[in-house]
C-alpha cells in the first residue's frame, strides 16, 4: 500500500515533471534541429567544412596528391577526397561537359585561364621543371636536348595540346631542335610508361614524374636557361555541391603542411 496521500502524490508528479522538462530541452526537438551542445555537421576537427570531394588533377600529381589527400583526410575527419587524374586538356573537357567535381588542379595556367567561367579564382600551388627521361643506365648515352634530334633515337613526347607537350615544344623550338617523335602521348605518365617499358629511348617529362620510377628511368637535367617552368594552379569549380569544403581544400594546398608534401616529392614552391 502506498504511504502517499493523493495530495502528496500530485505534488510529487509536479516535481518530477519540473525536473524532466529542462532535461528534454537539452536534446533535439521533433524538428530535427541540433541543440546548442551538438557539433555542426559542417565542422571538422580542424574547423574546415566537411564534405566528400572530387578533385580533378593533372596526371603529374598522381602520386603526391594521393599522399596529400590522405593527410588532409586525417586532419579533417568526416571528409573524403577522391581524385580523378588525367591530362589537363582532358580535365578541361570534363569540366566543360559538366562532370560532377568540386575542384580542379592543372599543370599550366593557360588551361585554367580557359575555364574562368567555370572556376573560382585560381592559386598557383607548385612549380615543376622538365627533364630528359631515358632508360636505366642511359644505354643510348643521351646527354643534351640536341641529342633528341638523332633520327636513330626513339623519342616519345606528349601531344602539343597537353601542357607537358607544349612545354616540350617550347624548349625545343627555342633551341631550333627538330625532333620526330615515334609517338605523341595524351599525358606525361603515358610518356614515362613508354620509356619504362623500353618502347622508347628517351622523352621529355616533368622532373617529379621521372622520380617516381627509380630503377627503371634515369633523368638528365636540362639547364634552367634551356628549360620551362610549369605552374600548377588550383581552383574550386562553380558547379560544386560542396563549395565551402572545396574552398577549404584548395586553401589547404598552400599551407606549410601541404607544401612540405609537394616539395618532398620534388615540386618547387611557387
User: How far apart are alpha carbons 89 and 106 in whole angstroms?
Assistant: 9
Are residue 91 and residue 213 in the same domain, yes or no? no
Task: Please indicate, yes or no, if residue 194 is contained in any of the structural domains.
Answer: yes
Residue 75: pLDDT above 60?
Answer: yes
Are residue 221 and residue 256 in the same domain, yes or no? no
Q: How many residues does the chain have?
A: 270
Are residue 132 and residue 214 in the same domain, yes or no? yes
> How much of the chain, in percent, has pLDDT values that exceed 70?
83
Task: Please indicate, yes or no, if residue 184 is contained in any of the structural domains.
Answer: yes
User: How far apart are alpha carbons 47 and 50 in whole angstroms?
Assistant: 9
3 state DSSP class of 74: helix
The domain containing residue 219 runs over which residues? 128-229
User: Into how many domains does the chain fold?
Assistant: 2
11 pLDDT band (50/70/90 cuts)? very low
Task: Please indicate, yes or no, if residue 201 is contained in any of the structural domains.
Answer: yes
Residue 164: pLDDT above 60?
Answer: yes
Number of continuous H segments (helices) and E segments (strands) in the chain: 9, 9
Average of pLDDT values for 113-125?
Answer: 97
Rounded to 10 degrees, the C-alpha dihedral 164/166/168/170 comes to -140
Which tops the pLDDT comparison, 26 or 35?
26
Are residue 194 and residue 235 in the same domain, yes or no? no
Task: Please indicate, yes or no, if residue 185 is contained in any of the structural domains.
Answer: yes
In this structure, what CATH number is given to the domain that contains residue 99? 3.40.190.10
Q: What is the mean pLDDT of the chain?
A: 87
Determine if the pTM surpasses 0.95. Answer: no
48 pLDDT band (50/70/90 cuts)? confident
Other beta carbons less than 10 A from residue 93's beta carbon: 12
Task: Please indicate, yes or no, if residue 61 is contained in any of the structural domains.
Answer: yes
Query: What pLDDT was estimated at residue 222?
Result: 98
Amino acid at each position: 500500500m502506498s504511504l502517499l496521500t493523493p495530495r502528496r502524490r500530485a505534488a510529487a508528479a509536479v516535481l518530477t515533471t519540473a525536473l524532466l522538462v529542462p532535461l528534454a530541452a537539452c536534446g533535439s526537438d521533433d524538428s530535427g534541429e541540433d541543440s546548442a551542445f551538438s557539433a555542426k555537421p559542417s565542422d571538422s576537427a580542424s574547423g574546415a567544412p566537411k564534405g566528400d570531394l572530387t578533385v580533378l588533377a593533372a596526371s603529374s600529381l598522381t602520386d603526391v596528391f594521393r599522399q596529400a589527400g590522405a593527410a588532409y583526410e586525417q586532419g579533417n575527419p568526416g571528409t573524403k577526397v577522391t581524385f580523378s587524374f588525367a591530362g589537363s586538356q582532358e580535365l578541361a573537357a570534363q569540366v566543360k561537359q559538366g562532370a560532377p567535381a568540386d575542384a580542379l588542379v592543372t599543370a599550366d595556367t593557360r588551361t585554367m585561364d580557359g575555364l574562368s567561367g567555370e572556376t573560382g579564382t585560381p592559386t598557383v600551388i607548385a612549380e615543376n621543371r622538365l627533364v630528359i627521361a631515358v632508360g636505366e643506365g642511359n644505354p643510348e648515352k643521351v646527354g643534351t636536348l640536341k641529342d633528341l634530334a638523332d633520327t636513330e633515337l626513339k623519342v616519345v613526347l606528349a601531344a602539343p595540346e597537353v601542357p607537358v607537350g607544349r612545354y616540350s615544344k617550347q624548349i625545343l623550338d627555342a633551341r631550333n631542335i627538330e625532333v620526330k617523335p615515334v609517338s605523341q602521348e595524351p599525358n606525361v605518365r603515358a610518356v614515362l610508361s613508354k620509356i619504362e617499358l623500353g618502347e622508347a629511348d628517351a622523352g621529355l617529362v616533368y622532373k617529379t614524374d621521372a622520380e617516381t620510377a627509380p630503377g627503371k628511368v634515369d633523368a638528365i637535367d636540362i639547364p634552367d636557361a634551356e628549360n620551362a617552368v610549369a605552374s600548377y594552379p588550383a581552383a574550386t569549380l562553380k558547379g560544386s555541391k560542396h563549395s565551402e569544403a572545396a574552398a577549404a581544400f584548395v586553401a589547404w594546398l598552400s599551407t606549410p603542411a601541404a607544401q612540405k608534401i609537394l616539395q618532398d616529392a620534388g615540386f618547387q614552391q611557387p
